[in-house]
A and B are shown apart, each in its own frame.
Chain A
Amino acid sequence: MKNKPTVGEILQAKGVSRRGFLKYCATTASLLALPPAMIPRIAKAIESARRPSVIWLSFQECTGCTESLTRSAAPTVEGLIFDAISLDYHHTLQAASGDQAEAARHAAMEENEGGYLVLVDGSIPMGNPGFSTIAGISNYDMLMETVAGAAAVVSIGTCAAFGGIPGANPNPTGAVSVGDLVKDKPIINVPGCPPIPMVMTAVLTQFLTFGQLPEVDKYGRPLAFFGQTIHDRCYRRPFYEQGKFANTFDDEGAKAGWCLYKLGCKGPTTYNACATVKWNQGTSFPIESGHPCLGCSEPDFWDKGGFYEPLSTGNFGSGAKVAGAAAAGVALGAVAAVAGRRRQAKYTKEA
């Protein structure tokens, strides 16, 4: 680890100027919801950080999470963070296969004992080890062997975080989440189907910058991104307050861009950052494109009733309960905002 180059050295070797680096640090602060006053500290920390080893395990998954993260072909500012890590094992991306691939995983584990990160996408089948194997090793055995010497585990996507679609009723493979199996390591959940790429890189950046994982909510999700509901941050929220709803996908309300609550939007009960970070190069997010939020970053989202059924008629019971849930969402959002400011104040104080 000591012989590995620092991130500053890597960036310098790539010809990144100090201005470019400051630009990177500014966008990093923005990603982590940290105050701009933190930029100098972030710059100092990243410059001297050494390249961490990352082992990425893919189990019962569709590769959508990897696709979300790696879709960009050219280097991006946030992509730099992946230049700054040593991705020592990833089925889809690595050139090696078979014994050589497994040897790379073991070598990374031995060389970085106690200091490497394990990223997991996909759930783990417990019904029968043969449901999903890699190089003849069951997903369970590979997970437990790999996390034994890890500093922390990051569950990428709803399948790894909560069981996801493989774990949906009737769960034919007995799929479970990483957190159901790993009990003695810090676990960060970055759910979403897929997760927002910038959230994944932000978690890694936080680890790289501060040597610690971010503050999390009760489901192990980083508060900086999952502290408020989609509904709290939705630009269509004023229409909800005014009682202006789309009732069908082609009525006047839909054309006017009114609230999609009655078309099944799960925004009031879904915690994620889509409404501000957005998708497709910051173009929009599902609601902005006229489709209700499916709630894909919440546990058991696939089994919570119809996607196009209003929350008030789904598994949430009566309309009164939903009104309560929405109000609670607002209150939680306010609490999260206060917590976020406290977090910012804490980091500013430490800087």
Chain B
Amino acid sequence: MTSIDNIGVQVQAVHGNVRPILNEVLHALDKLIDNNETTIIDLAGLPFGPGELDVLEETLGKGELSAQLDALGSSRIQETTYPGVWWIEHRNAHDEVVGRYLEITRIPEILSSQDADICAGRVSLGEQFE
């Protein structure tokens, strides 16, 4: 036996969360289109069964744009095959997932350069000329 996957247990799949979440995404897209309103769905609070998150992720798929953030561990910001629907996964320095969200928006806030960082960068660049 080389890994836990070799244990002969076939857990019966329970995927009761996928369809309600997709329905919530559908309504969130309506809000984005009609009112330019962003919706964030926090996936951490939902009782997912084994493999259920994978089914949700596979159903949403991967779209054209993917970004990697490296701040306090890595983060993956992936647009799904449905434009405006972003899969965001935050990891810590151990590469453990610490947050997982669906953000229904045009561009996730965390991708924008932040004012504080811009100011700090301006100071840093300015020092090159001193």
Contact = CB atoms under 8 A, between A and B. Distances in A.
Interface of A: 16-20, 22-24, 26-27, 29-30, 33, 36, 72, 74-80, 233-239, 255-258, 275-277, 281-282, 284, 288, 290
Contact of A77 (B40, B49, B92, B116): B92
Contacts of A236: 14, 49
Contact of B98 (A22, A27, A275): A27
Q: Which 7 A-B pairs have the closest CB atoms?
A: A235-B49, A20-B71, A257-B11, A18-B114, A36-B40, A281-B96, A76-B92
Given A23-B71, A23-B99, A238-B16, A74 B90 contact: no
Interface in B88-130: 90, 92-94, 96-99, 101, 109-110, 114-117
For the complex, would chain B's binding face be called helix, strand, loop or mixed by DSSP majority?
A: loop
A74 B11 contact: no
A234 B75 CA distance: 28
A282 B8 CA distance: 23
A281 B48 contact: no
B54 interface: no
B63 interface: no
Given A19-B114, A255-B8, A257-B11, A24 B72 contact: yes
Given A18-B117, A26-B90, A276 B44 contact: yes
Nearest to A256: B12
B47 A256 contact: no
Contacts of A237: 47
B110 A234 contact: no
Contacts of A258: 12
Contact of B47 (A79, A235, A255, A284): A235
A17 B101 CA distance: 21
B47 A19 contact: no
Contact of B12 (A36, A257, A282): A257
A23 B69 contact: yes
A154 to B, nearest CB: 22
B46 interface: yes
A202 to B, nearest CB: 12
Contacts of A281: 94, 96-97
B14 A276 contact: no
Contact of B99 (A16, A27, A72, A276): A27
A23 B75 CA distance: 9
Contacts of A275: 47
Contacts of A290: 9
Interface residues of B, number: 37
A338 to B, nearest CB: 15
Contacts of A24: 72
Contacts of A17: 71, 114, 117
Contacts of B116: 18
B45 A75 contact: no
30 contacts: A16-B71, A16-B72, A17-B114, A19-B69, A19-B110, A19-B117, A20-B71, A23-B69, A23-B71, A26-B99, A30-B44, A30-B45, A33-B45, A75-B72, A76-B98, A77-B72, A77-B73, A233-B47, A235-B14, A236-B14, A237-B47, A238-B14, A255-B8, A255-B10, A255-B11, A256-B10, A257-B11, A257-B50, A277-B44, A281-B94
B72 A20 contact: yes
Contacts of B75: 23
Residue among B16, B47, B50 with the highest chain A CB neighbour number at 10 A: B47
Contacts of B57: none
A86 to B, nearest CB: 21
A60 B83 CA distance: 56
Residue among B11, B42, B98, B99 with the highest chain A CB neighbour number at 10 A: B98
A205 B47 CA distance: 23
B90 A23 contact: yes
B45 A23 contact: no
Contacts of A233: 47
Contacts of A22: 109-110, 114
Contacts of A75: 72, 92-93
Contacts of B73: 76-77
Contact of B71 (A19, A234, A256, A276): A19
